[in-house]
Amino acid sequence: MPNIRDIVQQMPKAELHIHIEGSLEPELIFALAQRNGVALAYPSVEALRAAYAFSDLQSFLDIYYAGASVLLTEQDFYDMTAAYLARAHADQVRHAEIFFDPQTHTARGVPFASVVNGIWRACQEGPISASLIMCFLRHLPEEEAIATLEEALPYRDKLIGVGLDSSELGHPPEKFARVFERCRQLGLHLVAHAGEEGPPAYIETALDLLNVERIDHGVRCLEDGALTQRLAQEHIALTVCPLSNIKLRVFGDMGQHNLLALLDAGLVATVNSDDPAYFGGYMNANFLAVAEALPLSVQQAYRLAHNSFSASFLDAGAKQGFIDELDHYFATL
């Protein structure tokens, strides 16, 4: 039997929490800056990478939005997405549900069409299955989220769902109850970041007031026993991002991460990369970091991969196809 490090790398998996702007590597930031004549505040790739030392979510977001400023044309969005999909494919990711932040770009005068069409075109070309989740920036007013949804209506068929990201503290889910209700009526899937830096109460209001189907991060749920029980009973998946949680100091080190405790509590936890260019790696780097710091069993590795497919927004047939492949992989170990 191969060791756990080999297993987590080779097993088929889905990624359900990846911000495509967070996959922009420093090398591509510099290449796009040059192509587009955008000035950067850093003299070199190395200097930019050296700035990736974060103390909390906001200190990351400031650099993340600065990095995204080099994205101007449809081709830029295509190139960024194609690079991510190739990288995910190498990590045995079969399917990705990709977040994008249109407001980060439309606020700089980039047409909404360039953003969606570039990302979409790369997803159509493979090499893996991919679908798109449009995120609203929670530090901005709900009116701007509603205006963004209106801009997105002609592209409704290119979106599988909507999400909520950016600065969590002070921007509770209820701020976006009306726009999420409109999205629900449009038949979009609903997710939200909650319980990353924010309290367990934000997880509860995301469920009750936004009607989300998955919680992004959600690791702080264990502070509330009743909430934990509810998440388990209702099979609400958590898209956990281990390396992100360490870089943004949600946990002191990986040995203190609660991923296995979430599984032990019966929760549908998954492993994801969040912003892989900023947090030290893609899917397999996250799985490896977990396997090295925590006593991850083969059974738990299987459970994490199974959860990633079962909690996806794929149709039942596609889910079953990937789960059959996963079962075959584990049966032949």
Residues designated catalytic: 196
Pairing of strands 129-137, 159-165: parallel
Residue 273 CB, nearest distance to Zn ion (Å)? 9
CA separation for the pair 273, 255 (Å, rounded)? 18
171 binds, among Zn ion, ligand HPA, none (CB under 5 to 8 A by kind): none
Q: Give me the least distance between CB of 154 and Zn ion, in Å please.
A: 26
148 binds ligand HPA (CB under 6 A): no
Residues that bind Zn ion (CB under 5 A): 274
Q: Which does 79 bind (CB under 5 to 8 A by kind): ligand HPA, Zn ion, none?
A: none
Nearer CB in complex with Zn ion: 76/274 = 274
Q: Say whether residue 15 binds ligand HPA (CB under 6 A).
A: no
Interaction between residue 71 and ligand HPA (CB under 6 A): no
Size of the site for ligand HPA (CB under 6 A): 11
What secondary structure letter does DSSP report for 332? T
SS (H, E, C) 93-150: EEEEEEEECHHHHHCCCCCHHHHHHHHHHHHHCCCCEEEEEEEEECCCCHHHHHHHHH
- The residue within the footprint of ligand HPA, chosen from 7, 9, 18, 19 (CB under 6 A), is 19
17/306 with CB nearer Zn ion: 17
How many other C-beta atoms are found inside a 10 Å radius of the C-beta of residue 186?
Answer: 13
Residue 97 touches ligand HPA, criterion: CB under 6 A? no
Decide: is 166 part of the binding site for ligand HPA (CB under 6 A): yes
Helices (runs of H) and strands (runs of E) counted in the chain: 17, 8
Of 114, 218, 275, 282, which lies in the binding site for ligand HPA, with binding defined by CB under 6 A?
A: 275
CB of residue 139 to Zn ion, shortest distance in Å: 14
Residue nearest to ligand HPA (CB): 165
CA distance 229 to 246: 25
Supply the minimum distance, in Å, between the C-beta of residue 330 and Zn ion. 29
The alpha carbons of the chain give a radius of gyration, in whole angstroms, of 19
**Member of 12, 22, 198, 276 binding ligand HPA (CB under 6 A):** 22
Task: Convert 214-246 to b/e letters by CB count within 10 Å (16 or more is b).
Answer: bbbbbbbbbebeebbeebeeeebbbbbbbbbbb
> Closest distance between Zn ion and the C-beta of residue 258, in Å?
17
For helices 200-210 and 225-233, angle between their N-to-C axes, nearest 10 degrees: 40
91 contact choice in Zn ion, ligand HPA, none (CB below 5 to 8 Å, kind-dependent): none
The neighbour count for residue 321, using CB atoms within 10 Å, is 14
From ligand HPA, Zn ion, none, interface partner of 166 (C-beta below 5 to 8 A by class): ligand HPA
Rule CB under 6 A: which residues touch ligand HPA?
Answer: 19, 22, 57, 64, 165-166, 193, 196, 244, 274-275
